Amino acid sequence: MPSNVIEIIVSEENDLERIDKFLRASLEQDLSRSYVQKLLKSGHIRIDGRVIKQNHRVRTDDVITVEIPEPVPLELAPEDIPLDIVYQDSSILVINKQPGLAVHPGAGNWTRTLVNGLLYHVKDLSSIGGAERPGIVHRLDKDTAGLMVIAKDDASHRFLTGEFSGRRVRKKYAAVVIGKPRTDHGIIDLPIGRHRKYRHKMAVDEKGRKAVTVFTLRQVWNSRLGVFSLLDIELHTGRTHQIRVHCSALGTPIVGDPLYSKTWEKYRVPYLLLASVGLAFTHPKDGGTMTFAAELPEHMRQFLEKIKRLP
């Protein structure tokens, strides 16, 4: 299958969803609704080889193929996007990314990304990530908020990439999950790989790559909406969707997760309730330890306030 063609099989929990909604939640690329509609209209999205209407509802086990047209080369434009820069020097900057902001441009999403904002606010960025990803050493999912470190020169980029690869960067997250873990503290050591049937998802797989997540239960709420827990999480590896897959495997999926929670729409949250709240690494130039912490983002605080008020 060509690299610009994606095949997705519809799982049972997505039966009868509108296809544009299903694809926006299922694709790793951050495609806008208007771009998905454009692909549908132009016949680049098919089910079992058939062109379909823009309001089509998918059925379980439908095989959807999405052809992403080759992008027209564009020079990335700086955009005045508000960024919460919590630290900056001549080598790096650390930002607290807002939810809903894609990290870098991609198909159907060439503007209004973190990169566009960085080009506006920061004079120098490393070039190792390529023309479309200047300064980007690591990433967060579009709907995940929180701390990221950005490289301002190539030497810093290479150093930080090595630190991430060598698992010497400490990454702490907070997640609001449905239900309560069986223990107050635990280590989830379950390998993760591409789902064998639903290729747009990741899954616990004995043939997958090693993935280790440590969690601590911070607080539990019992409300009319159900039981919810706030977890402190530390990653010892960095697999795609690792926290989301491990929380789901634990029986406590993250609130608002469209891929790994069957009831994600029930709670009417605008974004996934997951945030990067702690980051510690060695400075690429002076060798000192840099430690950063962030508060829970507004959408997570609002949800917690809501369930606290409910009987």
> Do 5-67 and 85-166 have matching folds?
no
Residue 141 appears among annotated catalytic residues: yes
* CATH number for the domain formed by residue range(s) 171-276+300-309: 3.30.2350.10
Predicted pLDDT of residue 107:
62
Q: Return the CATH superfamily for domain 5-67.
A: RNA-binding S4 domain (3.10.290.10)
- Which residues are CB-contacts of 287 (< 8 A; sequence separation ≥ 6)? none
Beta strands in 89-155 (DSSP E): 92-97, 145-151
pTM exceeds cut of 0.85: no
Q: 42: burial class by Cβ within 10 Å (0-12, 13-18, 19+)?
A: exposed
Residues 6+ apart with CB under 8 A from 298: none
**CATH of the domain spanning 85-166:** 3.30.2350.10
Domain locations along the chain: 5-67, 85-166, 171-276+300-309
pLDDT of residue 108: 60
Query: What is the chain's pLDDT, residue by residue, as a tens digit (311 residues)?
Result: 455 788 899 988 888 999 988 887 787 666 667 778 888 999 999 998 899 988 899 999 999 999 877 655 457 889 999 999 999 999 999 999 999 999 988 766 678 899 999 999 998 899 877 777 899 999 899 999 999 999 999 999 999 999 998 999 999 999 999 999 999 999 999 999 999 988 889 999 999 999 999 999 999 999 999 999 999 999 999 899 999 999 999 999 999 999 999 888 899 999 999 999 999 999 999 999 999 999 999 999 999 999 998 87
Radius of gyration of the chain (CA): 20
Catalytic pick among 20, 30, 62, 141: 141
Residue 265 confidence (pLDDT): 86
- How many whole angstroms separate alpha carbon 173 and alpha carbon 171? 7
**If 0-12 CB within 10 Å is exposed, 13-18 middle and 19+ buried, where does residue 291 land?**
exposed
Give CA–CA dist 201/196, Å, rounded. 9
Answer yes or no: are the C-beta atoms of 61 and 69 closer than 8 Å. no
Distance (Å, whole) CA 281 – CA 289: 6
Give φ, ψ of 21 to 5 degrees.
Answer: -65, -45
Tokens of 255: 């609130």
User: What is the pLDDT at residue 26?
Assistant: 81
